[in-house]
Structure 1
Amino acid sequence: MSQRIAGTARSAGRRPVRRFRRRDVAVVGALLGMAVLLDVVVVWGPALASVGLSFTSWDGLGDIRWVGGDNYANLVRDHPAFWPAVRHNLLWVAFLGLVATPFGLLLAVLVDRGVRFSRFYQSVLYLPVVLSLAVVGFMAQLLLGTDQGVVNTVIGDGRDPVDWLGDPRVNLWMMMLAASWRHTGYVMILYLAGLKSVDPTLKEAAALDGASERQTFFHVTLPALRPVNVVVGVITVIEALRAFDIVYAVNKGRNGLELLSVLITDNIIGEASRIGFGSAIAVVLLGFSLVFVVTFLAHEWRGAHDT
């Protein structure tokens, strides 16, 4: 009797196992299958096709001819715009990562402190995010153009205006500054959401231990934002390496604004239609993206594991 009672009690204490019906399995499989298929067709399919085409010579119409690594050799040795484009992309990553992203974090901290009109500040600072980089490029032309540009008008140098967008010594910095205007608002919103989720008892405990606000932020708040740091870091790298429309809207990505994305477009859909050569540039850009993203994620995960 006691064994029967014990068995009944164990059975009653067990949670019933829900079994999926065939219809449930079919629905889940269909939804996941559609997502995986879309990812393969839109992302991985073109990426793998670019890797394969980078070893060929093809104009999009004729026969595909295998050339091995000639495209990469010509790209490194003979293409005059390649190394400037690589340097500009690296500068773009550094500028967004070391200037725009920390500034967005600073704005998030200031807004999180509950200053007056904080909702207004959030709206104003986030407003550029809804604009495409092409629109930002056109706005930069209105502000920095030599013909009745706002900046040159304010400076008052109408006889010899500064060519902010045509001078290769300064136009790249102006475009990175314009792109940072948009990127800063995005980073601010992400960090603001992360700051709202930090446990306030951690800050109170640090204050009781005698930590200053600066020490509390760097030793308590910032480590708690590690998941947000991962997201922001990946987004920053992607935003920097995929920059295209802002420079293309200004001067077609030439005369000091060369980027790898512009070279890909000019070779694949330009008049030359060098699809194999353009695919080689795309693979180089993919390699840069993977190196930055994988290195950053490995560093963050190693730090999370150590803590």
Structure 2
Amino acid sequence: MPHTTARRARRRGPRKFSSRDLAVIGVLLGIPVLLDLTLIWGPTLASIGLSFTSWDGIGDIHWVGVDNYRTLFTDYPPFWPAARNNLLWLAFLGFVATPFGLLLAVLLDKGVRFSRFYQSTLYMPVVLSLAIVGFIAQLVFSRDQGVLNAIIGNTDDPVDWLGDPDLNIWVVLLAAAWRHTGYVMILYLAGLKSVDPSLKEAAALDGANERQTFFRVVLPTLRPVNVIVGVITVIEALRAFDIVYAINHGRNGLELLSVLVTDNIIGEASRIGFGSAIAVVLLTVSLGFIVTYLVQELRGEKKR
């Protein structure tokens, strides 16, 4: 009997990894970590370092300290319009496109007829890149050959939807929201499908109407989805580039920080140090929004 107990204890002890197991674990973990360090953190740290230098990509690298940032904030006219447009993207996607995607998810979750068709149709723009969405926007909103002006029928004095800096930013935001809404809808729809129906039944027994049930019972249970949607919205808003570049290379009212980074690093000027400074500012703003949002969500989760 004691021998049997000892034998069982040995069986239940921690399993030792063989050299082959360690090799497999090392490969499975090592390759992703190596790729992450090489493709993400390596260029990020290099950009931070280069932002304090002056370099054209060919000659010697000269240390200039914070001169790039001083020039960026005080003597670079495109910077502030681009920063304002990025914040406008964030506000529009966060307060217009995201709630609309949640509304569509709630409506589809009720089991309306042809819900599968609606889901597929609304999700279809998500499979398109923003560059393709930009080309579609050109076909619809072009001044001379656009579908919208043809429908309006104002051929004598057509509206320049993409050329007027007072209009084009809103047109592009609508096009970007068209894609973003479908993404948000699918995420929230998956979250709504996982909500326990007994919670809704209990709220109904307590006398709560449909609106009260959603905001007091259903929405709090979607906190993990809210975190994902919030982070995705911030990333989509601050990394926007291809749609405005496909329309007019990010000029004439469509300036974005990502476009300024590209123009300075791979443009004719080849101001790699200065472009890196813009990239660092964009990185700082992105991390600021994301970290603040995640900290608030985690604090709210602890209080529950």
Aligning the two structures, in what range does the TM-score lie when normalised by the shorter sequence? over 0.9
Aligned to 1:233: 230
Please report how far the alpha carbon of residue 21 of structure 1 lies from its aligned counterpart in structure 2 after TM superposition: 1.3
- Identify which of 162, 166, 170 aligns with 1:165: 162
- Identify which of 31, 35, 38 aligns with 2:35: 38
For the residues of structure 1 that align with 2:6 and 2:104, how far apart are their CA atoms? 58
The one-letter code sitting in structure 2 at the alignment partner of 1:283 is V
Alignment map for 1:140-179 (pairs within 5 Å): 140-179=137-176
Q: In the alignment, does 2:287 pair up with 1:290?
A: yes
Alignment map for 1:175-254 (pairs within 5 Å): 175-254=172-251
Aligned to 1:306: 303
Q: In the alignment, does 2:66 pair up with 1:73?
A: no
For the residues of structure 1 that align with 2:298 and 2:197, how far apart are their CA atoms? 24
Change (3 A) 1:280 1:200: same
- Identify which of 23, 28, 33 aligns with 1:26: 23
For the residues of structure 2 that align with 1:238 and 1:98, how far apart are their CA atoms? 15
For the residues of structure 1 that align with 2:10 and 2:73, how far apart are their CA atoms? 69
For the residues of structure 1 that align with 2:258 and 2:176, how far apart are their CA atoms? 15
Aligned to 1:86: 83
Show CA shifts across 1:119-145 (max 9, x none): 000000000001110111011111001
TM-score (norm 2): 0.97
For the residues of structure 1 that align with 2:13 and 2:51, how far apart are their CA atoms? 55
For the residues of structure 2 that align with 1:201 and 1:132, how far apart are their CA atoms? 40
Please report how far the alpha carbon of residue 13 of structure 1 lies from its aligned counterpart in structure 2 after TM superposition: 11
Please report how far the alpha carbon of residue 58 of structure 1 lies from its aligned counterpart in structure 2 after TM superposition: 0.3
For the residues of structure 2 that align with 1:269 and 1:233, how far apart are their CA atoms? 31
Change (3 A) 1:28 1:14: closer
The number of equivalent residue pairs is: 304
Change (3 A) 1:154 1:29: same
For the residues of structure 1 that align with 2:258 and 2:210, how far apart are their CA atoms? 43
Q: In the alignment, does 2:121 pair up with 1:127?
A: no
- Identify which of 88, 106, 112 aligns with 1:109: 106
Change (3 A) 1:267 1:12: closer
TM-score (norm 1): 0.96
Show CA shifts across 1:239-297 (max 9, x none): 00010010011111000000000000000000000000000000000001000000100
Please report how far the alpha carbon of residue 200 of structure 1 lies from its aligned counterpart in structure 2 after TM superposition: 1.1
**Greater Cα offset, 12-21 or 203-212:** 12-21
The one-letter code sitting in structure 1 at the alignment partner of 2:259 is V
Show CA shifts across 1:92-135 (max 9, x none): 00000000001001101111111000000000000000111011
Change (3 A) 1:269 1:212: same
Q: Secondary structure of 1:114's match?
A: coil
Please report how far the alpha carbon of residue 38 of structure 1 lies from its aligned counterpart in structure 2 after TM superposition: 0.3
For the residues of structure 2 that align with 1:79 and 1:226, how far apart are their CA atoms? 41
The one-letter code sitting in structure 2 at the alignment partner of 1:271 is E
Please report how far the alpha carbon of residue 8 of structure 1 lies from its aligned counterpart in structure 2 after TM superposition: 3.0
**RMSD of Structure 2 on Structure 1 (CA):** 1.6
For the residues of structure 2 that align with 1:216 and 1:81, how far apart are their CA atoms? 47
**Greater Cα offset, 172-181 or 24-33:** 24-33
Aligned to 2:96: 99
Q: Secondary structure of 2:160's match?
A: coil
The one-letter code sitting in structure 1 at the alignment partner of 2:47 is S
Q: In the alignment, does 2:235 pair up with 1:269?
A: no
Identity %: 74
Q: Secondary structure of 1:147's match?
A: coil
For the residues of structure 2 that align with 1:168 and 1:106, how far apart are their CA atoms? 31
Which runs of no fewer than 5 residues in structure 2 stay unpaired? none
The one-letter code sitting in structure 2 at the alignment partner of 1:108 is A
